[in-house]
């Protein structure tokens, strides 16, 4: 029902329109300079919720990637240790077979016994392999070594796990007891027995079965470690791919489409100029210009 138009109403509405145009421009400028569509939660509450969730996931994934890389290093260490141990034990088996052929003199048997002792020391040091200060075969124990001089295993029975996703953890240590055995039943005690038997000039070959059993369990453990290592590498790839994907999704939600904003800004500018032009035309003339 605005029936009457006066200079004041025109002036008011012109100012209001200019203000509206400027506000819209400032809004677009803000979007363009910050590069973000969502600057405060009320800009888009549901997008805010998504962004918060995705950012949380992304940070967690970054940690999982770190965990997975660490797990890879652990498993690599365990893998190397068991492989070397296998080689050493195979060598010990050869020595045992040679010691059992009966044609060797005691001097040669003593030499063989010395070699077996060296191999035992090697095995023990491999069993006590550490990674960044932690014995990889001792589980969660804080004992200085996985196997002490009496071949007692210091492990606690609980394994070292690394979390690689919100639902999965991967075991990264080696089961010292399963690989090397413990105490009198350990591979070290076995080699000591063989060495003693050689020194005493008795036939060490009856121990071959025990060596084979140990070899068998070492291979089994090695296979397990290899399988876990493979799964870790796959997980690392998945995590890397997911990181990219999450970043793309966050960007899709909160980043502006620059081309679109520039276009909007351009058209807003045209509207603003139009409003300015109209204001200049409407506000200027009065009847007084046309009277004598």
Partner 1 sequence: MSTFSGLGTALSSLIAQRQALDVAGQNIANANTVGYTRQRATMSPVSGVQVPSMFSTNDGIGQGTRVSSVDRLADVFLDARLRATTSSSSFLAARAEAYTTLEKSLGEPGKTGLSTQLSDMWAAWQEVGNYPDKNANRAVLLESSRDVATRVGTLYSDVATQWSQSRSTAVALVDQVNTAAANIADLNERIASITASGATAHELADQRDLLVTQLSQLVGASADIRADGTVDVLVGGNTLVSGKRVNALAVSGATAFDQVTGSPAVGVDVVWAERPTQSAALSGGRVAGLLSVLAPADGSGSGGVLAEAAARYDTLATTIATKVNALHGTAVRSDGTPGGDFFTFTPGKPAALGLTVAISAPSDVAVATAGAGAHDGSVADLIGKLGTAAGGPDAVWSETVVDLGVRSASATSRATVAEAARTTAVQQQLAQASVDTDEETVNMLAFQRAYEGAARVLTAIDEMLDTLINRTGVVGR
Task: Report phi then psi at 171, rounded to 5.
Answer: -75, 130
Of 21, 28, 31, 67, which lies in the binding site for partner 1, with binding defined by CB under 8 A?
A: 67
The CA distance from 77 to 192, in Å, is 26
Q: Residue 274 corresponds to which tokens in the numbers above?
A: 């139009």
Tell whether residue 184 is a contact of partner 1 (CB under 8 A): no
Which residue stretch of 35-43, 190-198, 223-231, 263-271 sits at the interface with partner 1 (rule: CB under 8 A)? 35-43
The rounded distance, in Å, linking the Cα atoms of 292 and 289 is 8
CA 195 to chain CA centroid, nearest Å: 45
Residue list 12-31, contact with partner 1 (CB under 8 A):
12-13, 16
Tell me if 175 contacts partner 1 by CB under 8 A.
Answer: no
Asked if residue 180 lies in contact with residue 135, where contact means CB atoms within 8 angstroms, the answer is no
CB of 204 to partner 1, least distance (A): 37
CB of residue 218 vs partner 1: minimum separation in angstroms?
Answer: 23
Q: Per the structure block, which two tokens stand in for 39?
A: 């600057």
The reply on whether position 35 binds partner 1 by CB under 8 A is no
Find the binder of partner 1 among 79, 110, 161, 255 (CB under 8 A).
Answer: 161
Which one of residues 26, 29, 66, 220 is an interface residue with partner 1 (CB under 8 A)?
Answer: 66
Q: Quote the tokens at residue 268.
A: 């807003």
- Contact segment (CB under 8 A) with partner 1 among 50-58, 178-186, 202-210, 266-274 equals 50-58
Under rule CB under 8 A, residue 168 binds partner 1: no
**Contact between 41 and partner 1 per CB under 8 A:** yes
89: number of Cβ within 10 Å:
23
- Is residue 243 part of the contact set for partner 1 (CB under 8 A)? no
Tell me the site size for partner 1, rule CB under 8 A. Answer: 56
Q: Is 247 in the site for partner 1 (CB under 8 A)?
A: no
Give Cα 38 distance to the centre of its chain. Answer: 30
State the Cα–Cα distance between residues 264 and 22, nearest whole angstrom. 13
Q: Is 259 in the site for partner 1 (CB under 8 A)?
A: no
Question: Of 176, 168, 119, 173, whose CA–CA distance to 148 is shortest?
Answer: 176
Which DSSP letter does residue 201 get?
T
Nearer CB in complex with partner 1: 59/273: 59
| Residue 9 makes contact with partner 1 by CB under 8 A | yes
């Amino acid at each position: 029902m605005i029936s009457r138009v006066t200079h004041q109403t025109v002036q008011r509405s012109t100012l209001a329109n200019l203000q509206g145009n400027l506000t819209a421009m400032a809004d677009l400028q803000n979007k363009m300079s910050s590069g973000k569509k969502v600057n405060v939660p009320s800009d888009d509450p549901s997008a805010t919720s998504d962004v918060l969730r995705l950012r949380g996931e992304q940070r967690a994934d970054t940690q999982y990637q770190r965990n997975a890389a660490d797990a890879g290093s652990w498993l690599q260490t365990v893998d190397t240790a068991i492989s070397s141990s296998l080689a050493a034990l195979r060598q010990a088996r050869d020595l045992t077979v040679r010691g059992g052929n009966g044609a060797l003199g005691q001097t040669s048997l003593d030499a063989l016994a010395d070699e077996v002792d060296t191999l035992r020391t090697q095995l023990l040091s491999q069993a006590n392999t550490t990674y960044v200060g932690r014995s990889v075969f001792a589980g969660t124990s804080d004992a200085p070594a996985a196997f002490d001089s009496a071949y007692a295993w210091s492990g606690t029975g609980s394994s070292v796990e690394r979390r690689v996703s919100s639902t999965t953890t991967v075991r990264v240590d080696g089961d010292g007891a399963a690989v090397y055995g413990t105490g009198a039943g350990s591979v070290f005690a076995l080699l000591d027995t063989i060495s003693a038997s050689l020194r005493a000039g008795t036939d060490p070959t009856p121990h071959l079965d025990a060596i084979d059993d140990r070899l068998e369990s070492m291979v089994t453990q090695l296979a397990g470690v290899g399988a876990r290592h493979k799964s870790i590498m796959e997980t690392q790839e998945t995590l890397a791919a997911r990181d990219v994907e999450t970043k793309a999704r966050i960007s899709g939600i909160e980043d502006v489409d620059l081309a679109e904003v520039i276009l909007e800004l351009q058209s807003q500018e045209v509207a603003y100029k139009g409003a300015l032009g109209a204001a200049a035309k409407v506000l200027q003339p009065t009847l007084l210009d046309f009277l004598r």
